[in-house]
Amino acid sequence: MNDLLKMRHVSVAYHTYNGVVQSVREVSFSIKEGQTVALVGESGCGKSVTAKSIMGLIKKPGQVSKESEIIFAGTDITKLSPAKLRKFRGKECSMIFQDALVSLNPTMKIGKQIIESLDNHMPELSKDVKRKRAIEMLQMTGIADAEQCLGKYPHELSGGMRQRVMIAIALITHPKLLIADEPTTSLDVTIQAQILKQMKILQKQMGMAIFVITHDLGIVADVADKVIVMYAGKIVEEGECREIFYQPIHPYTKALLNSVPKLNVTGKQMLQAIDGSIPDMTNPPKGCAFCDRCPYAMKVCAKYIPEERSASDTHKASCWLMDERAGRRRAENGKA
Ligand code: SF4
């Protein structure tokens, strides 16, 4: 599979009255055609800002650094003019958000909202063809009474139905990449599973890549080929889904996995919260940003940012524990 998206040294900063918030710091990763990649981390770690940077949606006071490269199908979207960027958005790459009720226009019928996307990107199609496509797309997202749905307002639909409508709007132009930012967070667990299953079915039918952004590692296991773990604006671990779930390396990834509720245990073991909070990103720590919360922190961690090291061709992490000298020190101190 070819690379569809290549992010190289992408940094995004927000200039505020309290200082410069370094939301995304030198992030590099890629997404292949047809692949599902999940970006995981706590709220405020830079996930949504990363997604917005791909869509060219960083607005002032936010700024993408000059060194950043966001190459989509061979084109650096950071260099596109506003007009070309508008064409790219929705046609090549679409995004769905957490809260469909906020994202949909409450005063406009569903049909008009879906067809509007075709008006923008495929104006050559006739009115009848656009309507037919809208009905087909709603049916593909699992809405049985699609024709009736066209005439309804968002508030007349359930949360799950609204999210399906959002998916229909995002996919009606057959984009190469669908970005789903916490797509099921506001839904109950059964509907979450249905929506994610439907997204995977549509992915197979349409051959697109999916970039899922979530704080919940639980939903990732069923959908992702590759998982990227982000903390304080940086990628701390990246690997195939099975590598992240069965051989996690970074203490933050392990803590995230422990924070997923388990069914076969009771008491404290069932749900382990991660103590502490993300550092102040107007003044990020000099060394590893997880240092204050990490049970394995060493002196070197507070002083120097760990380099990225590979555990396999597909699995890499940034943690001083991967340095062979850390193993020796721990053995000397009787911790190994
Ligand atoms: Fe913990 Fe140090 Fe690894 Fe950071 S570099 S995660 S502080 S062991």
Q: What is the phi/psi pair of residue 48, to 5°?
A: -65, -35
Testing ligand 1's pocket by substitution, the residue of 230, 299, 319, 324 carrying the most ligand atoms inside 8 A of its CB is 319
Residues 6+ apart with CB under 8 A from 120: 90
Q: Are 167 and 198 in contact (CB under 8 A)?
A: yes
Return the DSSP state at 233: T
Ligand 1 centre from 145 Cα, in Å? 53
Give CA–CA dist 129/335, Å, rounded: 68
Tens-digit pLDDT profile for residues 249-271: 999 999 999 887 666 666 555 56
**41 CB-contact burial (10 Å; exposed 0-12 / middle 13-18 / buried 19+):** buried
Contact in structure between 240 and 315 (CB atoms under 8 Å): yes
pLDDT tens for 107-163 read: 999 999 999 989 988 899 999 999 999 999 999 999 989 999 999 999 999 988 898
Distance from residue 209's CA to the centre of ligand 1 (Å): 32
CB contact set of 249 (below 8 Å; sequence gap of 6+):
237, 311, 315, 317, 319, 321, 322
Residue 3 is classified by DSSP as E
What is the mean pLDDT of the segment spanning 193-198? 85
- Please state, in angstroms and rounded to a whole number, the distance separating the CA atoms of residues 203 and 210: 8
Please give the share of the chain, as a percent, with pLDDT higher than 70.
94
Residue 236 Cα: closest atom of ligand 1? 6
Q: In the numeric block, which tokens belong to residue 269?
A: 């073991």
What percentage of the chain has pLDDT greater than the value 90?
73
Rounded average pLDDT over 229-237? 97
- Which residues does residue 7 pair with via DSSP β-bridges, in sequence order? 29, 70
Is the CB of 301 inside a 6 Å radius of any atom of ligand 1?
A: yes
306 lines ligand 1 (CB under 6 A): yes
Collapsing DSSP to helix, strand or coil, 277 comes out as: coil
Helical ranges in the chain per DSSP H = 47-55, 82-91, 100-103, 110-121, 127-140, 146-150, 159-171, 189-206, 217-223, 241-246, 251-258, 299-303, 324-332
Q: What is the mean pLDDT of residues 212-217?
A: 88
15-38 pLDDT tens trace: 999 999 999 999 999 999 999 999
- Judge if the beta carbon of residue 167 lies within 6 A of ligand 1: no
CA–CA gap between residue 181 and residue 95 (Å, rounded)? 7
Most confident of 9-23, 81-95, 194-208: 9-23
Q: Of 8-17, 33-42, 48-57, 258-267, which range is least confident?
A: 258-267
The Cα 39–Cα 29 span in angstroms is 10
37 CB less than 6 Å from ligand 1?
no
DSSP state of 291: G
Among 35-49, 210-224, 241-255, where is mean pLDDT lowest?
A: 210-224
Pocket perturbation via mutation, ligand 1, pick of 253, 254, 294, 305 by most ligand atoms within 8 A of CB = 294
- Closest alpha carbon to 201 in 115, 139, 158, 145: 139
Residue 170, both tokens: 């995002």
The arithmetic mean of pLDDT across residues 298-304, rounded, is 95
> C-alpha distances in angstroms, 147 versus 35, 68, 133, 139?
32, 44, 11, 9
23 contacts 281 by C-beta, under 8 angstroms: yes
Q: Which atom of ligand 1 has the smallest separation from the CA of 301?
A: 2
The answer to whether the pTM exceeds 0.95 is: no
**Quick one: which atom of ligand 1 is closest to the CA of 295?**
1
Max CA distance (Å), the chain: 75
pLDDT band at 336 (very low <50, low <70, confident <90, very high): very low
pLDDT of 304 over the 60 cut: yes
Average pLDDT of the chain, as a whole number? 90
What is the pLDDT confidence band of residue 183, given thresholds at 50, 70 and 90? confident
Residue 331 has pLDDT above 90, yes or no: no
Q: How confident is the model at residue 334 (pLDDT cuts 50, 70, 90)?
A: low
Local structure of 214: helix, strand or coil? strand
Better pLDDT: 206 or 265: 206
